[in-house]
């Protein structure tokens, strides 16, 4: 079986992004800070001083989450990579989204993405992977569990990030190491996001994973 695009990127150097160009990175950061102020938002918290981690962003209920979240990333000096459905990376935007750190995945062939990303973490001394556990802005019943198993497999912590439209604040919350006790860990995550409000609260999903088939 031919390796997927994600697997091919995992075995080679990480792709070149805007964060590798100091001048552009600084320009976009100041533009991001200006944008955040113009829309009346503020950033909370700061990035943890650790070399490798998975960062999850929730809730995801609106198209506005991407530009606001991207602005927060620049303002926080977050150099992260994120996974997106391959449809986002079609012409004429494929180069732009890759430049922002996006890695396309084919959801119909993504069963081994967790293993691939675990390997990416093990091969690198420094890496931040940004994931939206809801996977879509539409209403869903359960979160995707990939972020949890990537963190567990790579033995890296999970950072909880958020966009709160009620308080008009976005940023970084607590850092925790998944214990393997999924119920206890998800209870911790639920407690944090219980106070966070998405743009469309009716579309928010209570953080939980789909029950495994017996």
**What residues contact 123, with CB distance under 8 A and at least 6 apart?**
10
pLDDT of amino acid 116: 82
Res 2 pLDDT > 50: no
**Residue 16 pLDDT grade (very low, low, confident, very high; cuts 50, 70, 90):** low
Res 7 pLDDT > 50: no
Residue closest to 161 by CA, chosen among 182, 201, 132: 132
Q: How far is the C-alpha of 110 from the C-alpha of 151, rounded, in Å?
A: 17
Could you tell me what percentage of the chain is helix, strand and coil, using 3-state DSSP and rounding each to the nearest 5? 40, 20, 40
Q: CA-CA distances (angstroms) from residue 74 to 19, 32, 119, 138?
A: 9, 6, 27, 26
Res 4 pLDDT > 50: no
Neighbouring CB atoms inside 10 A of 204's CB total 19
Instruction: Report the predicted TM-score, pTM, of the whole model to 2 decimal places.
Output: 0.83
pLDDT of amino acid 179: 95
Cβ burial 50-84 (10 Å sphere, 16+ → b, else e) = eebbbbbbbbbbeeebbebbbbbbbbbebbbbbbb
Domain limits, the chain: 15-203
pLDDT in tens, 88-120: 677 777 777 777 777 776 665 555 788 888 988
**Residue 201 pLDDT grade (very low, low, confident, very high; cuts 50, 70, 90):** very high
Share of the chain above pLDDT 90, in %: 57
Res 160 pLDDT > 50: yes
pLDDT of amino acid 82: 77
pLDDT in tens, 25-83: 899 999 999 999 999 999 999 999 999 999 999 999 999 998 999 999 999 999 888 77
* Average pLDDT of the residues of the chain: 85
pLDDT of amino acid 21: 74
């Amino acid at each position: 079986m031919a390796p997927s695009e994600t697997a091919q990127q995992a075995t080679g150097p990480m792709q070149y992004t805007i964060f590798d160009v100091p001048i552009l990175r600084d320009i976009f950061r100041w533009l991001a800070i200006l944008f955040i102020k113009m829309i009346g938002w503020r950033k909370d918290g700061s990035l943890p001083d650790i070399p490798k981690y998975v960062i999850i962003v929730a809730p995801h209920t609106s198209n506005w989450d991407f530009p606001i979240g991207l602005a927060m990333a620049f303002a926080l000096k977050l150099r992260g990579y994120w996974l997106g459905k391959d449809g986002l990376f079609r012409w004429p935007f494929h180069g732009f989204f890759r430049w922002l750190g996006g890695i396309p995945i084919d959801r119909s062939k993504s069963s081994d993405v967790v293993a691939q990303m675990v390997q990416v973490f093990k091969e690198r001394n420094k890496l931040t992977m940004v994931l939206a556990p809801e996977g879509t802005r539409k209403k869903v019943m359960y979160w995707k569990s990939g972020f949890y198993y990537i963190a567990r497999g790579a033995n890296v912590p999970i950072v909880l990030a958020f966009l709160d439209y009620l308080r008009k604040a976005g940023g970084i919350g607590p850092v925790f190491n998944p214990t393997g006790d999924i119920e206890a860990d998800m209870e911790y995550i639920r407690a944090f996001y219980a106070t966070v409000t998405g743009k469309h609260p009716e579309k928010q999903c209570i953080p939980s994973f789909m029950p495994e088939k017996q």
